[in-house]
Structure 1
Amino acid sequence: MTPSPTAAPAATRPVKPPLRRTPLTLLLFLLAGFASLVAVLAAAIVIYIGQDAYKAGHQMSPTQAVDGLLDAALNEHDAPATDKYLCDQVSVRDKIHDVVRQIKTFEKSNPGTFLTYEWSVRKVWQRRDRALVTAQVHARTTASGSSTNNPEQKWKFSMRNESGWKVCGLTIPAN
């Protein structure tokens, strides 16, 4: 019998040395991850704020603009936020800022008393880039758990489309 030739051992692949994980490499990796997270969060915040500001300044309908203005003034009590819904009419700006100031003064001078507002907005007339809108504004005063309904008021708004609808005229009935 002839001896069978023994199989030659298979060639072994060279083993790559493991990556060196030095403290500096780990630190750089963590810093890159943190910087990426901050960049993504910053982008999300900028997009959110930009989109909100764009919507406020570019209302697609006169009724949306009036609704946004009333919400900013009567619910949020934010006079600077109302400016996004207004034309460059100083008299209208002063009038709506005065409403916000009166609400803040009333609530500050009467602790525990709150004013809540509801309204319904209706477009009366529109032609091209001009419109008239009315809103029935209803106020409720709440103090010590009891509510008092105040008389409803009819506010009138003159609107103009300036790359988005803006309030250019405002009539509020005297109390």
Structure 2
Amino acid sequence: MKPASTLAPASLDALMRQAYTMEVEAGQRYADLADAMQTHNNREVADLFRRMAVIESRHASQILAQMGWAEPPAPQPIDWEGFEAPETVAVDDVHYLMRPWHALALALAGEQRAVRFFAAIAETAGDPAVRAAALELRDEELGHVTLIEEWMQKVPRPEQDWDDDPDPPRYTD
């Protein structure tokens, strides 16, 4: 992770632009993953990813309303490790035979990264309004962690050989 001193945005507006960007990117990625799972006839996971996309889109809409922005702000760079925003699921972590439990585990990891992201901002923020908002965002993400953990209790944990494909793709050139 980058040095903590670079994490805290200078203003509440900049923080909320980052939060909005994170929610939009996560929603878009979940929608993309849903499409990929649909292509592989993994409808159960596709449906789960679509639900996650809707949830993230609602979070983005809530930020727009909270900030009183009539138009979505331009994407805000996010000071975080790697190439993805903290809440975004990496495409490389997805397998076409994954089960709902796997999809929820990926979502859980993203929410946990978002918790760490906002906690780090709260720790380093010089502006009390930025610190308070970062703590509020952290707490919202903690609520999402709890929700996903509850969902994970309702789906079966995958069997050991979940990724065995009796009819793997064959490539011919």
Question: TM-score, length-normalised on structure 2?
Answer: 0.31
Greater helix fraction, Structure 1 or Structure 2:
2
Which structure has greater strand proportion?
1
TM-score, with length taken from structure 1:
0.31
